[in-house]
Amino acid sequence: MNRAVILVGCVLFVAMLGSNLPAPLYEAYRVRFASSTFAMTVVFAVYPLALVATLFALSRLPDRLGRRPTLALGLVAAALGSIAFATATSLAALIVGRLCAAVAIGAIGAAGPPALVELDAAHDRRRAALVATFALSLSCGIAPFLTGVLVVTTSTGFVAPYVANVVLCALALASLALVPETRPLVASQPDATTPPEVVPTLDAAGRRTFLVAALTSGVVWWLASLFVSIVPAFVGTLLDARSPALQGGLALIVFVLSPLAQMLGRSLSDGAALRAGLVGTVLALAALLGAVPLHSLGLFTAGSAIAGVAHGLGFLGAQSAVNRIGTPAARARLSARFYALTYLCIGITLLVVGALTAPLGLYGALAVVAGVAALAALLLARVTAR
């Protein structure tokens, strides 16, 4: 693995870090700003839904402007999002921060995975997928745990994590000077006889592969996103585990086991990894929901571990499949669409949970949505088996 690949992986890590730092603080923000649970769900859901629009808007930017400038745009947006959270005095400021985070991940989601494939000396799509998924997954675990620890041990927990992220963004931005530009000439100068919109077209088999991969990614990322959105309130309210450090630790379990599962499962075929992630999602949801009537933090922790493995294998298989079907001309736009569908699944389901919380309670709302997600996972697993 060469230096440029490692540096782009670090860029992905830093940008995603900023979007997950507030995770253990949403309940504190709700109390501080005298807001409802649904209002805080909206604040969180703004990010994945805005990200969908951002990914579509930026899908051509890596081909027109280049991979490096698009990655730089993502880092600048990530820093602005951290500044918005560090200085927040209202829900509006939190929404601004989430919108900046959406632009950040939209930019790196469009440019990062294609750059990793193109920078790899052997153009190894599985190794590129591993770097991308490892960086994104690990940052999702470290961010909430770091914030939770700082909140418990210092008086600067609402500011220090964001300041650290701004510094990391500046360092990552400087490191891009050492990363060569990899924009394919065919992407910036398509043949005059071929309309630009035809370049990334997939055949029927490619479209099926893409759809299954994107939906699988949506399911496993929704499961993982619970640990940086709803789970803190879930374990605090229903399991009496109110420590931000403990809540961040549960997310850390998920997002540390996720990259470990990716490393151990990299020899699996794309289909096998997808199926393992989907079946694991069903098992994890059963454990998480079963922990409440049993009032068992141990079972919830076990469910978190299963969720981490499921997320790692499912996302690795999905990202690898998309890398496999993407041609150089299609790679950036295909990556953007893949992440757009993933975050659309996350945003819609989180909003539904928030809307159902008032009539059904948090547990009932999550149980309903989890049941639908589990059914979708089983159907997708059957499709991949066939």
> What's the CA gap between 74 and 69, in Å, rounded?
9
Of the candidates 303, 195, 293, the residue with the CA atom closest to the CA atom of residue 239: 293
Vertex 381, ends 285 and 330: CA angle to 5°? 110
Give the predicted TM-score (pTM) of the model. 0.75
pLDDT tens for the chain, 386 residues: list them. 688 899 999 999 999 998 888 877 887 888 888 887 778 777 877 888 888 888 888 888 888 888 999 999 999 999 999 999 999 999 899 999 999 999 998 898 888 888 888 888 777 777 877 888 788 888 888 888 888 888 888 888 899 999 999 999 999 999 999 999 887 654 444 444 444 443 456 778 888 999 999 999 999 999 988 887 777 777 777 777 777 777 777 878 888 898 889 888 888 998 999 999 999 999 999 999 998 888 888 899 999 999 999 999 999 899 888 888 877 677 778 887 888 888 888 888 878 887 888 889 888 999 999 999 999 999 999 998 77
The dotted CATH code for 3-180+203-385 is: 1.20.1250.20
Instruction: Determine the pLDDT at residue 185.
Output: 56
Half-sphere exposure (Cβ direction) of 194: Cα atoms closer than 13 Å: 13
Q: By the 8 A CB rule, do 162 and 82 touch?
A: yes
> What's the CA gap between 48 and 54, in Å, rounded?
10
Q: Residue length, the chain?
A: 386
The residue ranges of every structural domain in the chain are 3-180+203-385
Of the candidates 79, 143, 141, 66, the residue with the CA atom closest to the CA atom of residue 110: 66
> What's the CA gap between 350 and 44, in Å, rounded?
8
Q: Where are the alpha helices (DSSP H) in the chain?
A: 3-20, 26-32, 37-58, 61-64, 67-86, 91-119, 125-153, 160-175, 185-188, 204-225, 231-238, 244-264, 270-294, 297-325, 331-385
